[in-house]
Amino acid sequence: MSNMRDALGLRAPYGKTNTQFDTEFDPASGTLWAFFNPKGNACFSLGLLKDIRNHDSQLKANGGRVTLAGDSHQVNYYVLGSRQPRVFNLGGDLALFVLLIKSRDREALAHYARLCLDNLYPRIRNYFTPGMITISMVQGDALGGGFECALSSDVIFAEESAQLGLPEILFNLFPGMGAYSLLAQRIGMRAAEELILSGKVLPAARLHEMGVIDVLAKDGEGEAAVRDWIHANRKRRNGYAAVYRARQCVHPVSREELDAIADTWVDAALRLEDKDLKMMGRLVRAQMRRLDGVGVADITTEALAANA
């Protein structure tokens, strides 16, 4: 591992500090490493979404380049991970959803959805930098919007113990910020619908078999697996990037499509009943118990058991 790190160079922090989104850059390989570092629950809070947006909008404005120690560097790879142990991201801010739905605040729900897409869509389009390859490094649970975020990258790595899924149907909703489009791009509409409507949270190995996850890594070796992949394919990066752009041409995901689906999500959310909101609350509590190390192996099973 040390030899590989020497070959790729050393990473250095850059950008703003004291945010919920940590960024580092390895100039030797042109790899930007970014990590969710949320305060509180490991979900997409408004604060985390805004911190991501502030960083990524600057990256896009700079043409996919970052400045480190006064020098400008092209980003060849953008790797997205998490600082939270055993968690990639648990998705939408369910506690906020309950509050906004109860208050019938459609405008605020729509604003949240737009902010999610403001982050997701540029990543789907590689920040409008054709030669950039995006990578999701999932080293823990990726649920709902967390799974959608992982799906927005060209290449998805996941460690064996990671669990990924879309539990929204359990509280009578659906994942409205990209899951349908991005899953259909990878495994087809029928399989995408089956996965969404099942509400199942699946182990990384099963999703690897289905073709959702590209690279399965041993626990604790996700980052090394990403570095190995970058090093092994460095001479073919241009070809790889071109293939991923061709994928977007064959199965394009437009911002208009995402916005229309998000509008459907907002309308559906406002139709939820009290029993649905109670289940949403149970999922929030199950998430917090898992983060606290209480022994929750499966968040959805825990929430359903509490509903029995």
CATH number at residue 183: 3.90.226.10
Separation CA 227–CA 1 (nearest Å): 9
62 touches 19 (CB < 8 A): no
Among 19, 148, 34, smallest CA distance to 82 is for 34
Q: Give the chain's domain count.
A: 1
Can you give the pLDDT of all 308 residues of the chain as single tens digits? Answer: 333 343 455 788 887 877 999 999 999 999 999 999 998 889 999 999 999 999 999 999 999 999 988 899 999 999 999 999 889 999 999 999 999 999 999 999 999 999 999 999 999 999 999 999 999 999 999 999 999 999 999 999 999 999 999 999 999 999 999 999 999 999 999 999 999 999 999 999 999 999 999 999 999 999 999 999 999 999 999 999 999 999 999 999 999 999 999 999 999 999 999 999 999 988 888 777 766 665 556 666 666 666 65
Token duo for residue 244: 């991923």
Residue 167's CB is within 10 A of a number of other CB atoms, namely: 25
Expressed in angstroms, the distance from the first to the final Cα of the chain is 48
- Assign 3-state DSSP to the chain and report helix, strand, coil percentages, each to 5: 55, 20, 30
Residue 246 is part of which domain span? 2-307
**pLDDT at site 88:** 96
Separation CA 191–CA 200 (nearest Å): 13
Residue 280's Cβ-side half-sphere holds a number of Cα atoms within 13 Å equal to 26
**pLDDT at site 2:** 35
Separation CA 20–CA 42 (nearest Å): 10
305 touches 192 (CB < 8 A): no
The pTM score is 0.92
Among 58, 179, 66, 50, smallest CA distance to 118 is for 50
CA dihedral in degrees (60, 65, 67, 70; nearest 10)? -130
Q: What angle is formed at CA 110 by the lines to CA 109 and CA 111, rounded to 5 degrees? A: 90
